[in-house]
Every structure is written in C-alpha cells, then in structure tokens.
C-alpha cells in the first residue's frame, strides 16, 4: 500500500484537488474534470501505438546496429539520423520520451538522443507544413534555420556538462549499463 501511495501520489493529489474544486467551485471543478478526462483519453489514444512501435524497435533493431548508427562514434551521421527520426515523428512531445529511453537502452549517444527530442519538439514535418500554411514559408524557414543550430548547441552542451557518473545514471535509468 505504501509503494502504491508513493508511486501514484501525484495522481492522487490531483484527484483530491479536483474533488475540492468541485465542492468549492462547481463550475471550475467540472471544467477541470472535463479537461482531465479529455487529456486522459488523448494519452490513451497515443501511448499504446507508441509502445507497440517501441516493442518492434526493441526487437527488430539490434543493439550493435544502433551503436553503429547512433552511438558514441557515429559522428554527424548519428546526429542526422536522430534529427530525421525526430522530424518525421508524429504525436505529442510526451510520446518522445519512451522512444528516447529505448534509444538510450540500445546504445545511442546521449547528445543524439537530445537531438532526437529537440527535433521532435520543434521540427516535426506536420508542424512545419501547418506553420507554412499559417505563417508563411519565410517565417517557417527562419525558425527552422534558427532551431537547427539551437538543437545541436543544447544537445552537445548538455552532453559536455554532464560528468561520466551522471551519464551512467541516465543510461542506467534507461535500462542499460553502458
């Protein structure tokens, strides 16, 4: 019971807040519950396909292949693969983190995983198409050209700032002992 409470404390806390909101401010409370329900349904529609794809990635792509393509010695090729994977992705940003975990587990270089997350969050192809139709191609091109070096700078700076023990802990949390 103690582990259950510890593991789900945030969920339980939010449920209590929603109940209190309904009791004190019924309109706001019901709106909060409706938003929570809508977000839950959205997550339930996104997460299962992501985990199916992760299972396939885990089985189909050998660790040696991932290390060769995106590992420590992959260089610019690894970063480009990470960027293309992130840009081609669909779905909300929270779906990128389980994928990032599998990439780490398979031996991807940490900075390449950060490039993947950065690309997922800012350069997704569907986002670029929508942005071009809404804001124009000049705005999209300028933002895209600013984001590319920004993603690289953040990824490589973060990797350099982490010491060996911190990186080891991250890889350990992802399920590998590299």
Range 145-157 average pLDDT: 96
The answer to whether 107 and 66 have CB atoms below 8 angstroms apart is: yes
What percent of the chain is modeled with pLDDT above 90?
60
What is the predicted pLDDT for the residue at 97?
92
- Give 132's pLDDT tier (boundaries 50, 70, 90): very high
pTM for the predicted model, two decimal places:
0.78
Q: What is the chain's alpha carbon radius of gyration, rounded to the nearest angstrom?
A: 20
| Residue 125, token pair as written in the block | 């192809």
Phi–psi pair at 162, nearest 5 degrees:
-80, 135
- Give 61's pLDDT tier (boundaries 50, 70, 90): confident
Q: Where are the alpha helices (DSSP H) in the chain?
A: 2-7, 9-24, 26-60, 63-70, 75-88, 96-105, 110-122, 125-135, 137-161, 164-173
CA distance 77 to 93: 23
Min mean pLDDT across 107-116, 155-164, 169-178 is at: 169-178
């Amino acid at each position: 019971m103690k582990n259950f409470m510890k593991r789900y404390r945030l969920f339980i806390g939010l449920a209590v807040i929603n109940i209190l909101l309904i009791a004190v401010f019924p309109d706001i409370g019901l709106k909060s519950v409706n938003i929570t329900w809508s977000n839950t349904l959205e997550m339930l529609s996104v997460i299962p396909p992501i985990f199916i794809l992760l299972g396939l990635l885990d089985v189909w792509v050998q660790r040696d292949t991932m290390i060769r393509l995106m590992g420590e010695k992959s260089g610019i090729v690894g970063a480009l693969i990470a960027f293309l994977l992130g840009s081609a992705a669909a779905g909300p940003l929270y779906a990128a983190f389980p994928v990032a975990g599998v990439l780490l587990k398979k031996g991807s270089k940490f900075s390449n995983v950060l490039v993947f997350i950065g690309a997922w969050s800012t350069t997704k192809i569907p986002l670029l198409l929508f942005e071009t139709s809404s804001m124009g191609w000049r705005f999209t091109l300028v933002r895209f050209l600013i984001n590319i070096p920004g993603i690289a700078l953040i990824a490589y700076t973060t990797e350099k700032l982490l010491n060996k023990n911190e990186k080891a802990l991250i890889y350990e949390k992802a399920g590998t002992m590299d």
